[in-house]
Structure 1
């Protein structure tokens, strides 16, 4: 047995034969042409043909994986018509008297190298898009048919890497999984794979060899491992893991597409909590109605320096597009307390949970706050983004936030940047102070979201990180539940909605209690969405 280790893109277990993806190899030769204008026209004809092919791919992807994920092929059409890209190809043909194939290959290499040299992972992923578009142009010029994977049985697709157009054309009924030598978790391919619910492992490197073609393998998408010619013990263990996973999925999958409504007709939104872009696939897979909490601080925690406006914009935009019009609630950075970041240079505090954190950092370091708000508002043009602010204790804080928001919107208007004027603004209810003035706060914002982890900590005066206090920490404490009820009453009194995004939202022993309080939304870990839906539908 051979064990390969890579990076998981999507969980699950797949067992079957490996089949390597075969492509039509196009050899690019540099040849001199006598009539450069005729060669430019030849390129233009190939471009027109490729645009038609891409439109067809868009329609197929639209049917298979939804509008948000099909948009990659619209992006490819835009790239194919990008003046810089087109002018580069035509310029090389005219100035060097060379064939279109050579000009396309040179342009593809140049543009891909530029993208790959960028620090931003999102922009690095665009190198694959350039190569994908260029490959299609070359196929159009050579009159070769595009590669279509022929599969006689369900298989594990193996490749050096897979570009979006290759992934979307796979016969999903016969794809058990895919494994690649290279690739990025931020690529469109990875997002499509998650959306298609295909277990996948990338980054296996040279250890993934073509000689494994036809061999039986196991892909463990949970641990990011691939077992070639597995022994009996591993096979038995993985089959058991696969069976358990499938049984749970089948039971809950029956609830997909159904409403979150009680037997008496009370409806509740069930959204999902995520920490980064890679979690969006799990949100879609589990049929969440939207994203109730995007913990944006993970962008800061995973970076060596402050993430730029463009880096943040790219992530927020992609999440909004992928969710295809469903609500995406993004919490502004919640750094401090148990989430320390070196480059913020925060002083050591005796009690960081009660210290300099979250909105307190944003209001005293407005340059950081404004950068994030600019990225959020720009991304709002691409979906239904809402913004919420953590650790609020006063109306004065909210008014100051709204002043800064208006400054940011004014800047964007002056610059001519696209954004939505009606972005919902909400606050986290995490402190007893916020609960006690919740009626006044409700007049200032569009919604509340209860962070039960911190609310429990502050209500009970117990550090939730202190293991010695576990026996005293009671998230079901009557005082905590009373706090949530009071916040709900205040929100509804002012015509605003209220959700819960803390761990208690997924506690199905409290679901009926929250329903009685009139909670409008529960945001939970993606894997808990269907379980909470089940509990809601069983409730009287």
Structure 2
């Protein structure tokens, strides 16, 4: 890069800053910028296209093309060369625009006379805002220096757009971060919440884009990078005795912090006239754009490391710190790309709702959100780039919909929905202490699922008759190291104490699949849901299972104890796991510790194979609990994490209900106690059908107990059982329509 070209670049940015400082309307600024760029780069045409919606670009300013085409010329994403730049995020530099693949002639612009074409994306931190184009009559390609200079200018335009410099009439020039936006995601935890945005990783605001003194900016960058390196080294020394995965991440941080290429590129950006902050953001935008195009998981993780490091560097440069000075609102809705269980627990019940760009319905965050009864929507694409701290937001966890900065009409409808839900909750409170007894006199036991001490107060407030499932893995997932036996024993003892004599079913460690311990080496499996998980891990690594069983025995301290092994697929696995329990009991007896007053050991029926186990297995277990979430996905061969298929198959499909009814009949024959645990147990219509086929114990999240009890108290199970069998005999695929018609007459 020549010194002369650096000077020219700084001159162009200096003139841009003067335009930014003018007291002018947004359209005037855009017009001035296109004229300025055309003059500085000695081209006949300069045009700026901005998105008017996520699929449509609009010509918003031009020097050289027909001015009447401004705000009239529009193109779809991927349409023409401009649309290709916007869709791919890649630069197009060609001497023969009309002959280039994808070229689209737009008569209203008068661009047929121009052969040379250079289009660069206008983007900020991976968010595509538009396209900046220069064109020439002569058939020529632009030099690397010219391409680089236009990229720098495009980055400044993106920052100016972010700061509201181009607000004008029309959707393409509407004020950013001020318009209502609807996000359609996936429901991971039901419920509705209204509040204000709290960004887990707050955006650093950069206002000084162009440098007055490049030498001073270089010094600022070098000082900040040195602070960053010292901080990373300090983290490494602190974590020297920690786990290998954490060390690998920090080593990657140190590698990037000491990267000469990264530093050189930022220094070149400053040489062209950018401030130190703008130079960091330019490189961060490039990394984020690449992140969206890389399919390799390892490379994506490394680019994510660089992105995080850039955020740290920006905070050092701006002095804005981790929270950028913002104060958490009283009704926070947490917005994040993703979040770990420990971080989520740090927020606790202060959160009204959670919205993630990534995640899965079985993720650690989803498990904690369910435990805390916080509405959660995942797969809300791009919400972290659109939302600002303090923005009003509505979260509809039932539909997987998020309204950011909603208008009054939407707010009113949402308020009515929440009022109806609150009214329903009041009616449920009136039957809290009454039994879930049907019109035909059948008594259904309703229990709650839990995984945290914070869940236990819901035992009384919900009217649950016990804990049908206590997920013990959460205590392993939220730590960076294996918990000690004494810690677990104390926790389990507090759970038993809080239950005040009500039965608590402790499920042993259910890890693997989508629940990988942060301190345990991950196993690369082609299909983790069908792989090395739950009791399979426990039997192959018996040390952890024995430690957990001993902790449970000590927690009982002579009181009744109920333990359940997850994901048992055949009798031999249960027999081996039960043998480990017997060994733990014998060890505790030898050590002189009190043994449980009574002990029940059961299994979760989550695989179709266990439904066909020999009668001896059904006689051997003290109880069975159907794990509906896993059992349904294996029955239908439909991955519950796959959005393309997970909603395709209905629980009330006659095949699945027949399968469940066969399990109920087998348990009745062998006198084996049976319950149903899972999301469907907490859905009133599904719960009523499960009770109708003979299930007399259901376990669900606490908030579902009221609605389920309410519907059970108004139905006759013998009538519903007849409807289910009649529907099946008539050859229908699902009993839902017939059941819904019956219920409409009862509710």
Give the structure 2 partner of residue 349 of structure 1: 525
Alpha carbons of structure 1 residues 326 and 384: separation in structure 2 relative to 1, 3 Å: farther
Give the structure 1 partner of residue 656 of structure 2: 480
| In structure 1, C-alpha distance between the alignment counterparts of 2:652 and 2:566, rounded to whole Å | 22
Give the structure 1 partner of residue 642 of structure 2: 466
Give the structure 1 partner of residue 586 of structure 2: 410
Matched, 1:521 2:713: no
Which digits, 9 at most, give the CA deviation of each residue in 1:220-245, with x for residues without a partner? Answer: x979x99xxxxxx9xx9999898556
| In structure 2, C-alpha distance between the alignment counterparts of 1:507 and 1:222, rounded to whole Å | 17
Greater Cα radius of gyration, structure 1 or 2 = 2
Q: Which has the higher contact order (CA 8 A, sep 6+)?
A: 1
Matched, 1:499 2:709: no
| In structure 2, C-alpha distance between the alignment counterparts of 1:426 and 1:390, rounded to whole Å | 9
Give the structure 2 partner of residue 184 of structure 1: none
Give the structure 2 partner of residue 304 of structure 1: 480
SS in 1 for 2:685: coil
SS in 1 for 2:436: coil
| In structure 1, C-alpha distance between the alignment counterparts of 2:655 and 2:574, rounded to whole Å | 25
Which digits, 9 at most, give the CA deviation of each residue in 1:275-297, with x for residues without a partner? Answer: 21111122321110000011111
Alpha carbons of structure 1 residues 471 and 445: separation in structure 2 relative to 1, 3 Å: closer
Structure 1 residue 249: Cα displacement: 2.8
Matched, 1:330 2:503: no
Matched, 1:365 2:533: no
The answer as to whether partners of 1:326 and 1:383 remain within 8 angstroms in 2 is no
| Map 1:179-194 → 2, pairs under 5 A | none
- Unaligned runs of at least 5 residues, structure 2: 1-190, 194-329, 331-347, 352-372, 376-388, 391-407, 717-747
RMSD: 3.3
| In structure 1, C-alpha distance between the alignment counterparts of 2:701 and 2:615, rounded to whole Å | 29
The answer as to whether partners of 2:436 and 2:709 remain within 8 angstroms in 1 is yes
Structure 1 residue 433: Cα displacement: 0.4
Matched, 1:446 2:640: no
Q: 1:272 aligns with which of 448, 459, 469?
A: 448
| In structure 1, C-alpha distance between the alignment counterparts of 2:691 and 2:421, rounded to whole Å | 30
The alignment of Structure 1 onto Structure 2 pairs a total of residues equal to 324
Matched, 1:428 2:604: yes
SS in 2 for 1:344: coil
Give the structure 2 partner of residue 339 of structure 1: 515
- Unaligned runs of at least 5 residues, structure 1: 1-10, 14-177, 179-193, 202-220, 227-232
SS in 2 for 1:518: coil
SS in 1 for 2:562: strand
Alpha carbons of structure 1 residues 395 and 12: separation in structure 2 relative to 1, 3 Å: closer
| In structure 2, C-alpha distance between the alignment counterparts of 1:369 and 1:312, rounded to whole Å | 12
Alpha carbons of structure 1 residues 382 and 508: separation in structure 2 relative to 1, 3 Å: farther
Structure 1 residue 363: Cα displacement: 0.4
Give the structure 1 partner of residue 459 of structure 2: 283
Which digits, 9 at most, give the CA deviation of each residue in 1:329-382, with x for residues without a partner? Answer: 111111011111232213110011110000000001110000110111122237
Alpha carbons of structure 1 residues 253 and 479: separation in structure 2 relative to 1, 3 Å: same
The answer as to whether partners of 1:272 and 1:283 remain within 8 angstroms in 2 is yes
SS in 2 for 1:467: coil
| In structure 2, C-alpha distance between the alignment counterparts of 1:327 and 1:446, rounded to whole Å | 14
| In structure 1, C-alpha distance between the alignment counterparts of 2:678 and 2:632, rounded to whole Å | 10
| Map 1:9-408 → 2, pairs under 5 A | 246-381=422-557, 384-408=560-584
Structure 1 residue 508: Cα displacement: 1.7
Give the structure 1 partner of residue 686 of structure 2: 510
Give the structure 2 partner of residue 139 of structure 1: none
| In structure 2, C-alpha distance between the alignment counterparts of 1:383 and 1:258, rounded to whole Å | 27
SS in 2 for 1:519: coil
The answer as to whether partners of 1:380 and 1:423 remain within 8 angstroms in 2 is no
Alpha carbons of structure 1 residues 410 and 482: separation in structure 2 relative to 1, 3 Å: same
Question: How high is the TM-score relative to the length of structure 1?
Answer: 0.55
| In structure 2, C-alpha distance between the alignment counterparts of 1:306 and 1:399, rounded to whole Å | 26
Alpha carbons of structure 1 residues 222 and 394: separation in structure 2 relative to 1, 3 Å: closer
Alpha carbons of structure 1 residues 393 and 282: separation in structure 2 relative to 1, 3 Å: same
| In structure 1, C-alpha distance between the alignment counterparts of 2:416 and 2:491, rounded to whole Å | 37
Structure 1 residue 476: Cα displacement: 2.8
| In structure 2, C-alpha distance between the alignment counterparts of 1:346 and 1:239, rounded to whole Å | 45
